[in-house]
């Protein structure tokens, strides 16, 4: 998708152009490091697309600061989440708390969050207030999602509804927020703002479900990581949530035994075979498509000044990935 | 000071009245816990005083949300600082990371920071933009101060200027911000805003220096904690910064030996005796008074709609404490 390339370049240039003091270096070096680690920049691209393609081309430049705020916030949440998840690697490089230490990761994450507000508050007062209202709500929801995710890790069963709520809060609301930002900056009315938000929210849920599916059913050559990684680590994915709900007592016992299996190949094969009996993949795909369809219904509602091709292309790109 | 009591009550009522969801309880229980731990509420009282006594009584009610934002931000910084400092106790109770765990303390701190922005963004757009501009700058400075503090802990010598810069960033800028908030909400002009900010900033530095002094020279019955606690923990206070600067080579060696002394009584006596020879207390008091005087010069510049008695009383209260 060549048209996305230009957006990615602008976001990366924007991130590199952020004026950070040299001192204290232990506070600002992690920001410089993390902002240039790369990443798909999906969220800020959504903001630029919503502003430019949907509302009117004139607003394109203006949307950059809102787009950067979204990406900076996303980076903040990754830095803090990586501490909580004890993740050593992010985007192929050391995480901030590994490269420096936990204290530095906490504090530089805090500064990132404030920086996001600086970019939002760079707009004229009325626009800034609207952006910050949406942002506050979203930021709190993302924290709630992360807390639910941590809570769920300690539980053996999680319901489908609460699982969907968790992924919705943890990741999808920020996609909705990113699109709504573009609409706000582009001067769209409340209906269009809400429709774009709904599109992003539902796309995000679909996308996350797809993530769960791809881990087990994706093309291993394209995924670039071990197939069934979620199974090996006993992660509560939607697949597992559905399986536990659909299983009878005997199948539940089989599953419990499999979760303790130390031979990974045997473990994955066993789980795959049980998932097949329980129609887990199919049920999961149905749910994914339900959210993708909901997303499209929202997008249909938006009246545009420009054509929808940009966002449709992005949608298709996200949906069609087999890795 | 009876007049302060009424302000404290309003702040505490405001904090108790914050509408927090019941779930996820691991995210919101720490906020409920920390908001009701007590505390002197100096910062939000400054906001209310600046708005009410300085600008005009009508604005008093309106200043509550800005005051709450300051206190919530202060609480956020305490929760995260306590993790970094591995502090087990805060306001006589367990710190959040001790009572729950580090992950929960990181995340609930994050939510507090966002909550502060919610209170600021509750104002009309033009006011909110001004408040958030000041707040963003202040929040970043507080993080810089905390980082410098952590950096200094690993160094054997710290210069007087950089020490003053550190305490200024870590604590004083928030006092300036609190007062400027009151001025902004009360509709004061930029000159008055800046003068109040300058008053708070310099008062804060004086107050922090006084803290260092009181630890060693305070009335032990009133301090309510061990005299010389900073000496025992080898903390780089302003007293120590001055002593290391004033000492000749022989005296520096004596000091180095004393820092390793394990008998606390002997250690404190030795350091006190060296400080006396080097006139450390006197030099420290001079510096404190310099900042208190600067603060008063700033306050003199403010043209008021109401009388200054409230803030003067608070100033005198802060300066006169012997504990």
Query: What residues in B contact A121, CB-CB < 8 Å?
Result: 129, 132-133, 136
Same domain, B60 and B183: yes
Q: What is the pLDDT of residues A178-207, one digit of tens each?
A: 999 999 998 888 998 999 999 999 999 999
Partners of A118 on chain B (C-beta within 8 Å) are: 136
Distance from CA of B151 to the nearest CA of A (A): 8
| Residue B179: closest CA among B145, B215, B204 | B204
* Domain contains B321: no
Closest CA to B43 of B78, B92, B90, B93: B78
Residue where a domain terminates, one of B188, B208, B226 = B188
Residue A318 confidence (pLDDT) above 90: no
Residue in chain A lying closest to B129 (CA): A125
Give the mutation candidate from A25, A125, A130, A173 for the B interface (greatest B CB count, under 10 A). Answer: A125
Q: What is the DSSP string of A256-314?
A: HHHHH---HHHHHHHHHHHHHHTTHHHHHHHHHHHHHHHHHHHHHH---SS-SHHHHHH
Residue A18 and residue A114 in contact, taking contact as beta carbons nearer than 8 Å = no
Q: What is the pLDDT of residues B147-191, one digit of tens each?
A: 999 999 999 899 999 999 999 999 999 999 999 999 999 888 899
Residue B270, domain member (yes or no): yes
In the numeric block, the tokens 């200094």 are attached to B152
Q: Do B176 and B250 fall within a single domain?
A: no
Rounded-to-integer distance, Cα A107 and Cα A205, Å: 30
Is B117 in contact with A136 (Cβ distance < 8 A)? yes
Mean of all residue pLDDT scores within chain A: 91
CA-atom Rg of chain B in angstroms: 20
Same domain, B157 and B280: no
Cα–Cα distances in Å, from B118 out to A75, A131, B103, B105, B122?
21, 12, 23, 20, 6
* Tokens linked to B133: 């501009």
**B323 in any annotated domain:** no
Asked if pLDDT for residue B142 goes beyond 50, the answer is yes
Residue A60 has pLDDT above 60, yes or no: no
* A51-65, A123-137, A213-227, B287-301: segment of lowest average pLDDT: A51-65
What ranges in chain A are assigned the alpha helix state H? 2-16, 25-35, 42-49, 64-84, 96-99, 102-120, 125-153, 160-167, 173-185, 190-217, 220-223, 229-232, 238-246, 249-260, 264-277, 280-301, 309-320
Question: Are B297 and B170 contained in the same domain?
Answer: no
pLDDT at residue B314 greater than cutoff 90: no
Least confident range of A104-118, A234-248, B104-118, B307-321: B307-321
> Over the stretch A216-228, which tens digit does the pLDDT of each residue have?
998 777 655 678 9
User: Phi and psi for B130 in degrees, rounded to 5?
Assistant: -65, -45
The answer to whether A114 contacts B140, with C-beta atoms less than 8 Å apart, is yes
Give, in degrees to the nearest 5, the angle at Cα B299 between B298 and B305: 135
- Contact indicator for B256, B170 with CB cutoff of 8 Å: no
In angstroms, the CA A1 to CA A177 distance is: 23
Compute the CA torsion angle B180, B186, B188, B193 (nearest 10 deg): 0
Q: Which are the contacts of A145, defined by CB distance < 8 A and separation ≥ 6?
A: A166, A167, A168, A169, A170, A171, A173
Q: pLDDT at position B2, please?
A: 66
pTM, two decimal places: 0.94
Taking contacts as CB-CB distances below 8 angstroms, the residues of chain B near A101 are none
Contact A150 B26 (CB under 8 A): yes
pLDDT of the residue at A320: 66
CB–CB of B114 and A136 under 8 A?
yes
pLDDT in tens, A158-182: 999 999 999 999 999 999 999 999 9
User: Does the residue B311 lie in any domain?
Assistant: no
Q: What is the pLDDT of residue B4?
A: 79
pLDDT digits (tens, 9 = 90+) for A275-313: 999 999 999 999 999 999 999 999 888 876 566 666 666
Interface contact flag, A26 B115, Cβ < 8 Å:
no
Residues B128 and B66: their CA atoms lie apart, in Å, by 9
Three-class SS of residue B151? helix
Residue B3 C-alpha, separation from nearest chain A C-alpha, in angstroms: 35
Among B136, B141, B159, which would you mutate to test the A interface (most chain A Cβ atoms within 10 Å of its Cβ)?
Answer: B136
- Chain B nearest-CA distance from A129, in A, is 6
Residue B160 lies in a domain: yes
Between helices B64-84 and B2-16, what is the axis angle to 10°? Answer: 80
> Which of B23, B27, B83, B154 should we substitute to test contact with A (largest number of A Cβ atoms within 10 Å)?
B27
% chain B with pLDDT above 90: 75
Within this chain, do residues B61 and B159 fall inside the same structural domain, yes or no? yes
Write down the pLDDT at residue B232: 92
Tokens for A202?
């539902």
d(CA A68, CA A56): 19
**Chain A interface with B: residues with Cβ < 8 Å:** 21, 24, 26-27, 80, 83-84, 102-104, 106-107, 109-111, 113-115, 117-118, 121, 125-126, 128-129, 132-133, 136, 139-140, 143-144, 146-148, 150-151
| Stretch B12-38: mean pLDDT | 96
Work out the minimum CA distance from B184 to partner chain A, whole angstroms.
Answer: 15
Query: Is pLDDT at B107 greater than 90 in this prediction?
Result: yes
In this structure, the answer to whether residues B147 and B261 fall within a common structural domain is no
Our CA-based measurement puts residue A125 at a distance from the nearest CA of chain B, in whole angstroms, of 5
Average pLDDT value over all residues in chain B: 91
For residue B277, being part of any structural domain is answered with: yes
pLDDT of residue B156: 86
- Distance, in Å, from the CA atom of A99 to the CA atom of A105, rounded to the nearest integer, reads 9
Put simply, the answer to whether A128 touches B126 (Cβ < 8 Å) is no
CB pairs under 8 A between A and B: 107
In CATH, what number is assigned to the domain containing residue B81? 1.10.600.10
Identify the band that residue B227 occupies on the pLDDT scale cut at 50, 70 and 90: confident
Per-residue model confidence (pLDDT) at position A308:
62
pLDDT at residue A323, as a whole number: 46
Radius of gyration of chain A from its Cα atoms, rounded to whole angstroms: 20
Distance from CA of B87 to the nearest CA of A (A): 13
Tell me: do B295 and B147 sit in the same domain: no
Predicted local confidence at residue B242, as pLDDT:
97
Quick check: is B4 in a domain?
A: yes
Q: How many domains does chain A have?
A: 1
Tell me: the pLDDT tens digits for A86-122? 999 998 899 999 999 999 999 999 999 999 999 999 9
B142 and B30 in a single domain? The answer is: yes
pLDDT band at A40, cuts 50/70/90?
A: confident
Same domain for B286 and B221? yes
Residue in chain B closest to A23 (alpha carbons) equals B144
- Considering chain A, what percentage of its residues have pLDDT values greater than 70? 89
Q: Which tens digit of pLDDT belongs to each residue from A253-275? A: 999 999 999 999 999 999 999 99
Regarding whether B156 and B21 lie in a shared domain, the answer is yes
Count other Cβ atoms within 10 Å, centred on residue A125: 16
CB contact under 8 A, A128 and B133: no
Structure tokens at B285: 């008091």
Q: Looking at the structure, tell me whether residues B221 and B171 fall in a common domain.
A: no
Which residues partner with A82 through β-bridges?
none
Structural domain containing residue B269: 216-302
CA neighbor of B34 nearest in space, from B20, B48, B46:
B20
B183 within some domain: yes
Does B250 share its domain with B139? no
CA distance A298 to A40: 24
* Across B54-78, average pLDDT: 83
Shortest CB distance from B129 goes to which of A24, A103, A121? A121
Say yes or no for a CB contact (<8 Å) between A147 and B24: yes
Residue in A103, A151, A169 to test binding to B, most B beta-carbons within 10 Å? A103
Find the CB nearest A133 among B110, B121, B126: B121
- Local structure of residue A156 (DSSP, 8 states): S
């Amino acid at each position: 998708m060549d048209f996305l390339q230009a957006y990615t370049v602008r976001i990366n240039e924007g991130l590199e152009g952020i004026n950070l003091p040299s001192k204290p270096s232990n506070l600002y070096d992690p920001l410089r490091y993390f902002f240039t680690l790369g990443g798909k920049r999906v969220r800020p691209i959504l903001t630029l697309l919503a502003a430019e393609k949907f509302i009117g081309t004139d607003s394109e430049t203006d949307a950059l600061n809102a787009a950067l705020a979204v990406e900076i916030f996303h980076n903040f949440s990754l830095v803090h989440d990586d501490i909580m998840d004890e993740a050593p690697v992010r985007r192929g490089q050391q995480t901030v708390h590994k490269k420096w230490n936990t204290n530095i990761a906490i504090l530089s994450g805090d500064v990132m969050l404030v920086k996001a507000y600086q970019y939002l508050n760079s707009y004229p007062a009325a626009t800034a207030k609207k952006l910050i209202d949406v942002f506050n709500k979203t930021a709190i929801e993302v924290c709630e999602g992360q807390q639910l995710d941590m809570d769920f890790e300690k539980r053996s069963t999680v319901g489908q509804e609460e699982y969907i709520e968790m992924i919705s809060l943890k990741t999808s609301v920020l996609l909705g927020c990113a699109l709504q930002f573009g609409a706000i900056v582009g001067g769209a009315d409340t209906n269009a703002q809400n429709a774009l938000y709904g599109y992003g929210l539902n796309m995000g849920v679909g996308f996350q479900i797809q993530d769960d599916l791809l881990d087990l059913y994706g093309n291993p050559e394209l995924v670039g990581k071990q197939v069934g990684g979620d199974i090996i680590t006993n992660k509560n994915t939607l697949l597992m949530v559905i399986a536990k709900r659909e299983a009878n007592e005997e199948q539940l016992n089989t599953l419990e035994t499999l979760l303790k299996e130390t031979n990974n190949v045997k473990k994955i094969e066993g789980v795959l075979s049980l998932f097949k009996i329980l129609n887990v993949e199919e049920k999961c795909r149905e749910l994914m498509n339900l959210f993708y369809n909901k997303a499209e219904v929202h997008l249909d509602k938006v009246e545009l000044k420009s054509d929808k091709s940009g966002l449709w292309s992005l949608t298709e790109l996200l949906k069609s990935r087999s890795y």
